[in-house]
C-alpha cells in the first residue's frame, strides 16, 4: 500500500502508524466519519450564528453611538486561540479528537461568525455566495473522487502538498513582515494579480479536499480505531473552513474591483 500524503498536518500517514487491518464495531467506518463531519459542521454553524448575531447587534448599537463593535473582539480572539489549542491537541494526541474536535468546531464557528458578519456589512450577500460556492466545490470534488475522475496519486499528492506549503510560506512571511509595517504588494489587493493569486489559492484549497477523502478512505481500509472518525472529520472540517475563507477573500476582491 502506498504511503499516504496530505498537506493537512493533521491528516498524514503518521496517524495510521501501528494500526492493523481489522473490521469490527470498534474500527473507523465511512458512515461514522460522515456523521461526525455533519456534527462538527452543525456545531460550527451554531457557534457562527451566535457571534453573527452579536456582531450585527453591536454594529447596530455603535451606529446609535451607544456601544462600539469592540465587544465582539473577545469572541473573535477567544475562538481563534481555543481553536488553535484544540488543533494542536488533536494533532499530537489523536485519541483526544472525540472531545477536542467538537470544541474546536464551536470555537472556529465563533471566529468565523464575526469575520463573516463584518464582511457581510461591507459586501451584501457575500456570505451566502461563499457558502454556496464552498458546498458546490465539496459536492463536485466528492463526485469526481468517487467516480474516479480525480485520483489521489503520489504525484498529485506531492504537487498539492508543495503548492499548499508555498502558500503557507507566503502567508507566514506576510504575517512576520506585518509587524514591521511591511506589506507584500499586489497579492492582497483587488487588482488582477491579487485576484489571480486568490483564485490559485482557492483551487489548491479545493484539491486538498481530495487528499482528505483519500485519507478517510485509507483509514477505513486500514481498520483504524473508532476515534479516527473524529480525527478524519476534524481534518475535513479544517480544509472546508480554509476553502470558505479563501472563497470569501476572492469574492471580496472581485466586489472591490467592481466598485472601483
For the stretch 240-255, pLDDT in tens is 999 999 999 999 999 9
Phi-psi region of 184 (alpha: psi -120 to 50; beta: other; left: phi over 0): beta
% the chain with pLDDT above 70: 87
Residue 66 has pLDDT above 90, yes or no: no
C-alpha to C-alpha distance for 92 and 147, rounded to whole angstroms: 34
Residue 249 CA neighbour count, 13 Å, CB half: 21
Centre a 10 Å sphere on the Cβ of residue 250 and count the other Cβ atoms it contains.
21
What confidence score (pLDDT) does residue 258 get?
82
Q: pLDDT band for 71, please (50, 70, 90 cuts).
A: confident
Question: Given a cut of 70, is residue 10 above it in pLDDT?
Answer: no
Read off the C-alpha cell for 204: 489548491
**Residue 125's CB: how many other CB atoms inside 10 A?**
11
Query: Would you say 188 and 194 are in contact if contact means Cβ atoms under 8 Å apart?
Result: yes
Cell, residue 179: 509587524
The beta-strand segments (E) located in the chain are: none
- Mapped onto helix, strand or coil, the DSSP state of residue 33 is helix
Backbone phi, then psi, for 226, in 5-degree steps? Answer: -60, -35
The three grid cell numbers given for residue 35, joined into one nine-digit string: 456523521
CA distance 233 to 260: 41
Name which of 141-155, 175-189, 223-237 the model is least confident about.
175-189
Separation of alpha carbons 62 and 145, rounded Å? 48
Rg of the chain, C-alpha, whole Å: 19
Work out the end-to-end distance of the chain between its first and last CA atoms, rounded to an integer number of angstroms: 53
Please report, for residues 143, 148, 149, 199, the alpha-carbon distance to residue 203 in angstroms, rounded to integers and kept in the order given: 17, 19, 16, 6
Reduced to 3 states (helix: H, G, I; strand: E, B; else coil), residue 24 is coil
Query: Which is more confidently placed, 7 or 105?
Result: 105
Amino acid at each position: 500500500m502506498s504511503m499516504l500524503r496530505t498537506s493537512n498536518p493533521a491528516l498524514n500517514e503518521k496517524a495510521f502508524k501501528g494500526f492493523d487491518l481489522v473490521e469490527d464495531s470498534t474500527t473507523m467506518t465511512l458512515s461514522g466519519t460522515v456523521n461526525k463531519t455533519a456534527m462538527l459542521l452543525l456545531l460550527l454553524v451554531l457557534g457562527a450564528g451566535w457571534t453573527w448575531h452579536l456582531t450585527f447587534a453591536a454594529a447596530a448599537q455603535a451606529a446609535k453611538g451607544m456601544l462600539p463593535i469592540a465587544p465582539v473582539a473577545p469572541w473573535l480572539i477567544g475562538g481563534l486561540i481555543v481553536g488553535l489549542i484544540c488543533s494542536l491537541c488533536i494533532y499530537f494526541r489523536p485519541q483526544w479528537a472525540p472531545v477536542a474536535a467538537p470544541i474546536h468546531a464551536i470555537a472556529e464557528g465563533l471566529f468565523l461568525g464575526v469575520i463573516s458578519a463584518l464582511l457581510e456589512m461591507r459586501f451584501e450577500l457575500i456570505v451566502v455566495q461563499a457558502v454556496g460556492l464552498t458546498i458546490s466545490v465539496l459536492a463536485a470534488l466528492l463526485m469526481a473522487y468517487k467516480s474516479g475522475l480525480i485520483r489521489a496519486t503520489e504525484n498529485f499528492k506531492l504537487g498539492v502538498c508543495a503548492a499548499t506549503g508555498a502558500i503557507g510560506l507566503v502567508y507566514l512571511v506576510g504575517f512576520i513582515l506585518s509587524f514591521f509595517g511591511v506589506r507584500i504588494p499586489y497579492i492582497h489587493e483587488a487588482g488582477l494579480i491579487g485576484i489571480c493569486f486568490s483564485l490559485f489559492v482557492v483551487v489548491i484549497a479545493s484539491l486538498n479536499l481530495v487528499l482528505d477523502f483519500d485519507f478517510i478512505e485509507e483509514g477505513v481500509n486500514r481498520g483504524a480505531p473508532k476515534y479516527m472518525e473524529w480525527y478524519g472529520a476534524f481534518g475535513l472540517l479544517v480544509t472546508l473552513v480554509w476553502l470558505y475563507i479563501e472563497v470569501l477573500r476572492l469574492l471580496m476582491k472581485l466586489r472591490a474591483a467592481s466598485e472601483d
